[in-house]
Chain A
Amino acid sequence: MLEFISRILGKESTSSKNVAKERLRLVLVHDRTSISPYVLNRLKEDLIKVISNYMEIDESALEVSLSQDDKEVALVANIPVLKMKKDYANKV
């Protein structure tokens, strides 16, 4: 019913076409870069290792994903920092 009303109002956000487009966009990012979830996961583990040398990070909230803008694919990492490691905090 809600979908019906939003259609009458001309809203397309719930239309199945947009669902298809969004899903397609995500599959193609992976298809085109040929990076498997396994590889992405290993990359994530390595990132944690390296960054942990310098700062304490919230591993559970860490996000690594591929995103796409036109024909460019970017690796987007969102890494919440808890605090700097003592050794590095004082050195500028």
Chain B
Amino acid sequence: MGEVIVVTSGKGGVGKTTTSANIGTGLAKEGFKVVLVDTDIGLRNLDVVMGLENRIVYDLVDVTSGNCRLKQSLIRDKRFENLFLLPAAQTKDKSAVNPDQMRVLCQELREEFDYTIVDCPAGIEQGFRNAIAGADRAIVVTTPEISAVRDADRIIGLLEASELNNPKLIINRIRPDMVKRGDMMDITDIIDILAVELMGVVPDDESIVISTNKGEPAVMDQASKAGEAYRRITQRIRGEEVPFMDLDAPEGFLGRFKRLLGMR
């Protein structure tokens, strides 16, 4: 029996979809059977981030309303044959699906896949309630900004009220140079305030923009720092203990030398 993990944040634009795509791809790369579910009805994007936008025939609403069978709606990934996408409907709105239907769907997916990653829309309304309805655990994504952390706090409260206890936190787009200058909240600041367990820290990285442009998740790019962060997060989801990345900005001579020699 597989596991259903919802990726949520409250605030929009903090990197839920990018995180979902990278976690899903990372797990598939490790050989697990994975499905990504986009629940952002009306504003779907997981398809473009995955580079699968041209293959959509049926969507989430087609499945929940019985227009097609679940199998027909799943799009197989280009790179991994054990990775699938269930896209959101683009022409409907959040009320086209209800939490009960999501629970049924998640149960079906749980039987078929090792991991079901549910990409949650921004907000705390029906889209959020749909996304969390069938989940076993939750990952909350935030950035080191006051607005994103505040919304994460609210989301953590709502998750716990829905008995999705112990959500794990991913801090996205951290800028080590700004942290060093004292112009950005650091990891300990955010963890202290939110009182949750940290699942990973992803540095702000241009390679994310490039990989999104191409529709190829950064987790596949060995040279990408953000990709490395997501690879580590993937391992933590599987229950392994992995050290957090060293995010110190200037590499220095010795660091460069070590890297050239493949020592890190």
Per the bound structure, the CA–CA distance linking A54 and B96 in Å amounts to 60
Residue of B at shortest CB range from A68? B193
Q: Write the residues of chain A forming the contact surface with B, with a CB cutoff of 8 angstroms.
A: 7, 12, 15-18, 20-21, 23-25, 27-28, 31-32, 71
| A20 cross-chain contacts in B, Cβ below 8 A | 145-146, 185
Candidates A7, A23, A27; contact of B182 at CB < 8 Å: A7
Q: Are B153 and A23 in contact (CB under 8 A)?
A: no
Say how far A30's CB is from chain B's closest CB, in angstroms. 10
Known: A21-B193, A25-B193, A71-B195. A31 touches B182 (CB 8 A): no
Q: Are B195 and A24 in contact (CB under 8 A)?
A: no
Instruction: List 30 A–B pairs whose Cβ atoms lie within 8 Å, in order of A's numbering.
Output: A7-B181, A7-B182, A12-B182, A15-B181, A15-B183, A16-B182, A16-B183, A17-B179, A17-B182, A17-B183, A17-B186, A17-B189, A18-B182, A20-B145, A20-B146, A20-B185, A21-B185, A21-B189, A23-B146, A24-B146, A24-B149, A24-B185, A24-B193, A27-B150, A28-B153, A28-B193, A31-B150, A31-B154, A32-B153, A32-B157
Interface digits, B218-254 against A, CB 8 Å rule (1 contact, 0 not)? 0000000000000000000000000000000000000
Per the bound structure, the CA–CA distance linking A31 and B145 in Å amounts to 17
B187 at the interface (CB under 8 A from A): no
Known contacts A7-B182, A17-B182, A24-B150, then 9 further A-B pairs from the complex at CB < 8 Å, ordered by chain A residue: A17-B184, A17-B186, A20-B146, A21-B185, A24-B185, A24-B193, A27-B150, A32-B157, A71-B195
Say how far A5's CB is from chain B's closest CB, in angstroms. 14
Per the bound structure, the CA–CA distance linking A64 and B145 in Å amounts to 29
Interface residues of B in 13-44 (CB under 8 A from A): none
Residue of B at shortest CB range from A23? B146
Per the bound structure, the CA–CA distance linking A25 and B192 in Å amounts to 11
A interface majority secondary structure: helix
Per the bound structure, the CA–CA distance linking A12 and B146 in Å amounts to 18
Per the bound structure, the CA–CA distance linking A32 and B194 in Å amounts to 11
| B182 cross-chain contacts in A, Cβ below 8 A | 7, 12, 15-18
Residue of A at shortest CB range from B154? A31
Say how far A2's CB is from chain B's closest CB, in angstroms. 15
Per the bound structure, the CA–CA distance linking A6 and B174 in Å amounts to 24
Residue of B at shortest CB range from A14? B182
Say how far A11's CB is from chain B's closest CB, in angstroms. 9
Per the bound structure, the CA–CA distance linking A18 and B186 in Å amounts to 10
Residue of B at shortest CB range from A19? B146
Say how far A21's CB is from chain B's closest CB, in angstroms. 6
Per the bound structure, the CA–CA distance linking A23 and B147 in Å amounts to 10
| A28 cross-chain contacts in B, Cβ below 8 A | 150, 153, 193
Per the bound structure, the CA–CA distance linking A35 and B262 in Å amounts to 55
Interface digits, B142-156 against A, CB 8 Å rule (1 contact, 0 not)? 000110011001100
| B181 cross-chain contacts in A, Cβ below 8 A | 7, 15
Per the bound structure, the CA–CA distance linking A73 and B67 in Å amounts to 51
| B193 cross-chain contacts in A, Cβ below 8 A | 21, 24-25, 28
Per the bound structure, the CA–CA distance linking A18 and B157 in Å amounts to 24
Residue of B at shortest CB range from A18? B182
Per the bound structure, the CA–CA distance linking A32 and B150 in Å amounts to 10
Interface residues of B in 132-148 (CB under 8 A from A): 145-146
